[in-house]
């Protein structure tokens, strides 16, 4: 017997660390979602930059159902075909020669930070353990990843936190230069700070980071959990910049909605992990890898990546036109289909109100902090859905302003 549930059930039985919207989505198709009352929403949120091919993409449904009839889970005591195929494809598409799989972005970063420390200890000794990260960055919610993350609000109340981590202002080359030394084992950067407000790294900053890491035998770690797998119009954002990291973390779009994370690196660095050094029961799960494999096969096609750039232009033109009629934003920015609209001073701190207004007009959007509306729709969203979504966004802004 199925139990009747409503939004009120959430407040009765769920931990209060979330405050979800007032409606409950029950099904989705492409960039449309329907709630319990059959109200139809347009999805510009994409499950927080996860649903790279929209909801229930037929190819992903087929990959999942096919694998569901074969084998669901074997653990890393045994390997499986989907994980090997996915790792082979990711190494073919990127700088990487080795892949570690896990279940989320935080876990991919956790593995990346541990590997960077281990590599430094193995090759240079225990003093080389400093991790340099950026203020305002976000790397996940485990204790290590919130500590590397540059938003103190996420570590408050959780002390003592791991040490050996220093933060510099994002895009500040002088501060980076002053911070990096022979003690540094890793410099960790999001090519575009997602949660921090959709702020892109300057090419010169990434170039300086690469040079300083090389000079001091430190590893350059790119957190591409949000920017990766087509989100920014290249398969990974590092390709757009032309700056190659030593370790890259990936998740979100990788699984198209099925939970999976990955850490990518070179063979030389990977060798610092040996059997037993690190692990995950579910990492490399056949169901997750079968879905991710199909998602990667589709998203890595040049025409799909070109489609992301074309859709960016359409979204950008639409958002600018809306802002001309309802001037609430002082900046509209982003790369590919990771876009941010920053509220002007007159509306500062009110991004959640815009999200609420959008909900009223049956549009799902995200915020990135108190001042930025974030949009991360499906990478294959139909033009019709973009246009309809933008019309709803305009109606929401009309109410809001």
Least distance from ligand PLP to the Cβ atom of residue 316, Å? 21
Give 138 or 347: the residue with its C-beta nearer to ligand PLP. 138
What CA–CA distance (Å, rounded) separates 156 from 150? Answer: 12
Task: Yes or no: say if 263 and 115 are a contact pair by the CB < 8 Å rule.
Answer: yes
- Nearer residue to ligand PLP within complex by CB, 144 or 273: 144
Residue 110 within binding range of ligand PLP, rule CB under 6 A: no
Q: Look up residue 360 and give its DSSP letter.
A: H
Piece in contact with ligand PLP (CB under 6 A), picked from 81-89, 135-143, 278-286, 305-313: 135-143
- For strands 219-223 and 184-189, give the pairing: parallel
Find where tokens 């699984």 sit: 255
Of 195 and 246, nearer to ligand PLP (C-beta) is: 195
Q: Candidates 104-112, 208-216, 275-283, 332-340 — which segment interacts with ligand PLP by CB under 6 A?
A: 104-112
Footprint of ligand PLP on 200-259 (CB under 6 A): 223, 225-226, 251
Q: Are 226 and 257 in contact (CB under 8 A)?
A: no
| Closer residue to ligand PLP in complex, CB, 94/253 | 253
To ligand PLP, the closest distance from the beta carbon of 303 in angstroms equals 27
6-14, 15-23, 127-135, 137-145 -> range binding ligand PLP (CB under 6 A): 137-145
Which C-beta is closer to ligand PLP: that of 171 or that of 362?
A: 171
Q: Which of 43, 110, 190, 394 binds ligand PLP (CB under 6 A)?
A: 190
- Compute the least distance from the CB of residue 217 to ligand PLP, in Å: 25
Residue whose Cβ sits closest to ligand PLP: 105
> What gap in Å lies between CA 338 and CA 44, rounded to an integer?
10
Q: Which residues of 151-160 are buried (b: 16+ CB within 10 A; e: fewer)?
A: beebeeeeee
Quick check: 54 binds ligand PLP (CB under 6 A)?
no
CB of 326 to ligand PLP, least distance (A): 28
Report how far residue 401's alpha carbon sits from residue 398's, in angstroms, rounded to the nearest whole number.
5
Among 104, 136, 371, 378, binds ligand PLP (CB under 6 A): 104
**148 and 131 Cβ atoms separated by less than 8 Å:** yes
Distance (Å, whole) CA 281 – CA 284: 9
- What's the closest the beta carbon of residue 146 comes to ligand PLP, in angstroms? 10
Q: Which of 86, 122, 110 is nearest to 289 (CA)?
A: 86
Using left for φ > 0, alpha for ψ between -120 and 50, and beta otherwise, residue 323 falls in: alpha
Name the β-bridge partners of 168: 134
From 215, 186, 189, select the one nearest 203 (Cα to Cα): 189
Least spacing, CB of residue 224 vs ligand PLP, in Å: 8
**Shortest CB 287 distance to ligand PLP, Å:** 17
132 sits near ligand PLP (criterion: CB under 6 A):
no
* Interface pick for ligand PLP out of 45, 83, 106, 208 (rule CB under 6 A): 106
| 140 near ligand PLP, judged by CB under 6 A | yes
Instruction: Count residues near ligand PLP (CB under 6 A).
Output: 14
Tell me the β-bridge partners of 220.
187
The residue (of 104 and 280) whose beta carbon lies closer to ligand PLP is 104
Q: In this structure, is the dihedral angle defined by the CA atoms of residues 84, 90, 92 and 98, taken in order, positive or negative?
A: negative
Segment interacting with ligand PLP (CB under 6 A) among 3-11, 189-197, 321-329, 380-388: 189-197
Cβ-in-10-Å burial (0-12, 13-18, 19+) of 341 comes to: buried
* Long-range contacts of residues 56-60, Cβ cutoff 8 Å, at least 24 apart: 56/27, 56/28, 56/29, 56/30, 57/30, 57/256, 57/298, 57/380, 59/294, 59/298, 60/256, 60/257, 60/258, 60/291, 60/294, 60/295
In sequence order, the 6+-apart residues with CB closer than 8 A to the CB of 388 are 42
In the window 145-174, what residues touch ligand PLP (CB under 6 A)? none
Of the residues 57, 118, 139, 210, which one makes contact with ligand PLP according to CB under 6 A: 139
Binding site for ligand PLP (CB under 6 A): 104-106, 109, 138-140, 190, 194-195, 223, 225-226, 251
């Amino acid at each position: 017997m199925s139990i009747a549930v409503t939004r009120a059930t959430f407040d009765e039985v769920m931990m209060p660390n979330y405050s979800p919207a007032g409606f409950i989505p029950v099904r989705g198709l492409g960039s449309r979602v329907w709630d319990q009352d059959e109200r139809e929403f347009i999805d510009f949120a994409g499950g927080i930059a996860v649903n790279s091919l929209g909801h229930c993409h037929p190819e992903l449904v087929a990959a999942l159902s096919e694998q569901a009839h074969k084998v669901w889970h074997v653990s890393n005591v045994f390997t499986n075909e989907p994980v090997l195929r996915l790792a082979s494809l990711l190494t073919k598409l990127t700088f990487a020669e080795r892949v570690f799989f896990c279940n989320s972005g935080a876990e991919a970063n956790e593995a990346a930070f541990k590997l960077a420390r281990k590599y430094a200890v193995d090759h240079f000794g225990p003093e080389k353990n400093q991790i340099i990260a950026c203020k305002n960055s976000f790397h996940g919610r485990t204790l290590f990843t919130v500590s590397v993350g540059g938003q103190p609000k996420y570590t408050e109340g959780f002390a003592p936190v791991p040490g050996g981590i220093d933060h510099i202002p994002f895009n500040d080359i002088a501060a980076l230069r002053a911070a990096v030394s022979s003690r540094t084992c890793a410099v960790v950067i999001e090519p575009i700070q997602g949660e921090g407000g959709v702020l892109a790294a300057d090419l010169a900053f990434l170039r300086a980071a690469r040079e300083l890491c090389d000079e001091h035998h430190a590893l350059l770690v790119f957190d591409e959990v949000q920017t990766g797998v087509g989100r920014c119009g290249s398969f990974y954002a590092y390709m757009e910049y032309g700056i190659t990291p030593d370790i890259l973390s990936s998740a979100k779009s990788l699984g198209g909605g099925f939970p999976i994370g990955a850490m990518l690196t070179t063979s030389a660095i990977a060798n610092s992990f040996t059997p037993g050094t690190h692990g995950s029961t579910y990492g490399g799960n056949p169901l997750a890898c079968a879905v991710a494999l199909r998602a990667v096969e589709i998203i890595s096609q040049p025409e799909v990546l070109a489609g992301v750039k074309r859709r960016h232009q359409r979204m950008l033109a639409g958002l600018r036109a809306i802002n001309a009629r309802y001037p609430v934003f002082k900046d509209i920015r982003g790369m590919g289909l990771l876009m941010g609209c920053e509220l002007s001073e007159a509306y500062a701190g009110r991004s959640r109100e815009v999200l609420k207004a959008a909900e009223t007009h049956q549009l799902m959007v995200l915020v990135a902090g108190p001042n930025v509306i974030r949009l991360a729709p499906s990478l294959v969203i139909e033009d019709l859905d973009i246009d309809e979504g933008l019309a709803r966004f305009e109606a929401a802004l009309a109410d809001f302003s």
